[in-house]
Amino acid sequence: MEEKEYIASGILELYVAGVLSEQENQEVFAMVQKHAEIAKEVSEIEAAILKLTAATAPVSNSSFTSIKEKISSSNTAKPNVIPLARKATNWATYTGWAAAVILTGGLMWTMVQNNNLNTQLQSAELERQQLEEQIFKANTSLAETKKLNTTLRDKDILAVPLSGQAVSPDSYAKVYWDKNENQVYVDVQGLPKPPAGKVYQVWSLKLDPLTPTSIGILDQFNDDENKVFTLANSNDSEAFGITLEPEGGSESPTLEQLYTLGAVSAP
């Protein structure tokens, strides 16, 4: 816990008030010894309490003592007057100090409650911000999904299915090629999660002679829930393939790691 959070928790006020357990006292004492800012805060709390106590303490009874001595020397017939005066003064003193202690304790309790309330309010504000962010992301994702569905259903989009190869027969993918916009949308929902340090790379192929051209790596594969990626493709592609390459991609495809392959059908 950081020093500011520790101070804001209210435990220092309880430490000064002496209401903590022995173990808690030892823990706070250790923090005071270790952190100068916490030690300063404890000193300021103690000074505030002393000032408050002094302000609420009863007036000195030195004047009553002087009167008592005069009465004692001039009138010895009434010896009970002095004890009665002393008793009344003591009760006033005790009452004043008790009020000061109660007031101090009440103020400290209020400080602790305020600190706890501030912490709760900060936590609630953080939760609200997180919820707003989640809602924004959900709305954004929904809008992008709708836009993507509209694009893929366009009659001018050419769909190219890619089937699994020897290294991963169960894999599959699909390329949607928008020739007018020189873009492809690669749906790789059928590919397994790549191992650490590896990334899928998409290739545009000319078949005769075989000429592969990289059109992008799918380095956000694990973070994309839809598993549909948009890549630029201005090539006169005759086929598309996806290989598993070292992180960062390769200049030429690793054929032993060819996961999916599909030829472009003639229109």
Residue range 103-114, pLDDT digits in tens:
666 666 676 777
Q: What percentage of the chain reaches a pLDDT higher than 70?
A: 65
Can you read off the two tokens belonging to residue 17? 């008030």
Choose the most confident range, by mean pLDDT, from 89-93, 188-192, 226-230.
188-192
Residues 136 and 173 in one domain: no
Residues 120 and 211 in one domain: no
Residues 12 and 123 in one domain: yes
Q: Where do the H-state alpha helices sit in the chain? A: 3-8, 11-17, 22-34, 36-56, 62-74, 81-152
Round to whole Å and give the CA distance between 118 and 183: 53
150 is a domain residue: no
Which one-letter DSSP state was computed for residue 256? G
Residue 85 has pLDDT above 50, yes or no: no
Helix, strand, coil in percent for the chain, rounding step 5: 50, 20, 30
Round to whole Å and give the CA distance between 16 and 34: 17
153 is a domain residue: no
pLDDT of residue 204: 96
* The residue to which tokens 């010896």 are assigned: 79
Domain-terminating residue out of 123, 145, 167: 145
**Is the pTM for the entire model greater than 0.85?**
no
Residues 15 and 112 in one domain: yes
Domain-terminating residue out of 120, 145, 170: 145
Residues 133 and 168 in one domain: no
205 is a domain residue: yes
Residues 91 and 204 in one domain: no
Domain-terminating residue out of 124, 145, 166: 145
Residue 119: band (very low, low, confident or very high) from pLDDT cuts 50, 70, 90: confident
Residues 139 and 113 in one domain: yes
On average, the pLDDT of the chain sits at 77
Q: What is the dihedral of CA 253, 255, 260, 262, to 10 degrees?
A: 80
Residues 141 and 185 in one domain: no
Enumerate the β-bridge partners of residue 214: 203
Greater confidence, 85 or 158? 158
Task: Name the residue among 173, 161, 170 with its Cα closest to residue 201.
Answer: 173
Give the DSSP letter string of 156-170: TPEEEEEEE-TT-TT
- Say how many domains are in the chain: 2
Identity (one letter) of the amino acid at 33?
Answer: Q
Residues 109 and 214 in one domain: no
Residues 165 and 125 in one domain: no
Residue 200 contacts residue 230 (beta carbons within 8 Å): no
60-to-3, 17, 66, 241 alpha-carbon distances in Å = 41, 25, 12, 96
17-63 per-position pLDDT tens digit: 777 888 888 888 988 898 888 888 888 888 877 776 665 555 445 54
Beta-carbon-side half-sphere exposure of residue 116 (alpha carbons within 13 Å): 10
Residues 6+ apart with CB under 8 A from 211: 205
CATH classification of the domain holding 210: 2.60.40
Residues 140 and 15 in one domain: yes
* Residues spanned by the domain of 61: 3-145
200 is a domain residue: yes
Can you read off the two tokens belonging to residue 189? 């929902």
Residues 43 and 140 in one domain: yes
152 is a domain residue: no
